Amino acid sequence: MQDYLPLAMILFVGIFVQSSAGFAAGLIIVPSLLWFGFSIPEAQASLLIATVPQNIAGVWTLRESISIRRIALPAFTRLVFLPIGVCLLVSLQTFPIDRIKQVVGLVVLIATLAIILFKPTPRQSLHPAWAWLAFPLSGLLQGLVGMGGPAMVFWVQAHDWTPRQMRGFLFAMYLISLAPGMIVLYLFFGDLIVRPAVFAALAIPLLLLATYLGLKFGDWLGRQRLRKVTLGLLLIIGIAGIASPYLPMHQPSAETPSEAIAVPDQGVLSTSES
């Protein structure tokens, strides 16, 4: 059980930040779990389960602002590209763990810089090409590294929707992809994802507390201040991932996550050296 304490701690922090600052759960949770020896599939599964209460509550609360017609095609294109991302993840899992950390760190860094630099001007409608770029990319990144949110957020922010419409759309998109995401992960990785997913489900009461505390903390400190702190943290996480082979605590290893999983006395959690 103590092997899963880092998982609970990281999920708590990620959900707390998501609730307080309004973003960044996946960008924090996935790379952080890699540093604690979890694989990307394990991190993805635990993240998906951990966000179930937030997404259900969000969809229910904002149900009057959610248009089925508006989300149908984006949800479909995102789901089509999700298994393609997971197929790429299968190949990524054969890389040495330091290369995987570098790939994830690069995704975090690019996403963070895009959040900082990309400030779209809201308009009533966008050219359809932008949707065909944003949602396939979101599905691909969701399947590959479990971080498909930023591409959707940029597309949503480029519309002159009300805050409730924006939040309702995003909650609905996340909720729609939860079950298909878990099914695809299980089909490709089997029992590897079961234990972290179950533990994440058991940790939901703790994560509800994280949500409550995060909302209170965000109201107290202010969203803009938290946004700056969170973006700074994400920059550090991204750079640390890219630089992982050169950091002082690094211990050279040629072992890949798939090789580590196959060692009987290490168990499913011994997927990397951090």
pLDDT digit string, tens, across residues 165-182: 988 999 999 999 999 999
* Residue 260 pLDDT: 43
* Residue 256 pLDDT: 57
* Residue 1 pLDDT: 58
How far apart are the C-alpha atoms of 273 and 256, rounded to whole Å?
9
Q: In terms of pLDDT, which residue wins out, 136 or 216?
A: 136
* Residue 274 pLDDT: 39
Does residue 39 come out as left (phi exceeding 0), alpha (psi in the -120 to 50 range) or beta? beta
How far apart are the C-alpha atoms of 59 and 137, rounded to whole Å?
23
Mean pLDDT of 196-219: 91
Name every residue whose Cβ is closer than 8 Å to that of residue 99 and which is 6 or more positions away in sequence.
none
- pLDDT band for position 221 (cuts 50, 70, 90): confident
DSSP for the chain reads: -GGGHHHHHHHHHHHHHHHHHS--HHHHHHHHHHHTT--HHHHHHHHHHHTHHHHHHHHHHTGGG--HHHHHHHHHHHHHHHHHHHHHHHHHTTS-HHHHHHHHHHHHHHHHHHHHH--PPPBS---HHHHHHHHHHHHHHHHHHS--HHHHHHHHHTB---HHHHHHHHHHHHHHHHHHHHHHHHHHHGGGGHHHHHHHHHTHHHHHHHHHHHHHHHHHH-HHHHHHHHHHHHHHHHHHHHTGGGSTT-------HHHHHT-TTT-TT-----
pLDDT in tens, 76-122: 999 999 999 999 999 999 999 999 999 999 999 999 999 889 888 89
pTM attached to this predicted model: 0.85
**Considering the chain, what is the average pLDDT of its residues?**
87
Alpha carbon separation from 127 to 74, 134, 138, 159, 226 (Å, rounded): 14, 12, 18, 11, 33
Q: In terms of residues, how long is the chain?
A: 274
* Residue 125 pLDDT: 87
Whether the per-residue pLDDT at 146 is higher than 80: the answer is yes
How far apart are the C-alpha atoms of 120 and 5, rounded to whole Å?
40
pLDDT in tens, 10-24: 999 999 988 887 778
Contact yes or no for 238/109 (Cβ under 8 A):
yes
Whether the per-residue pLDDT at 186 is higher than 50: the answer is yes
How far apart are the C-alpha atoms of 229 and 224, rounded to whole Å?
9
Structural domain spans, the chain:
2-261
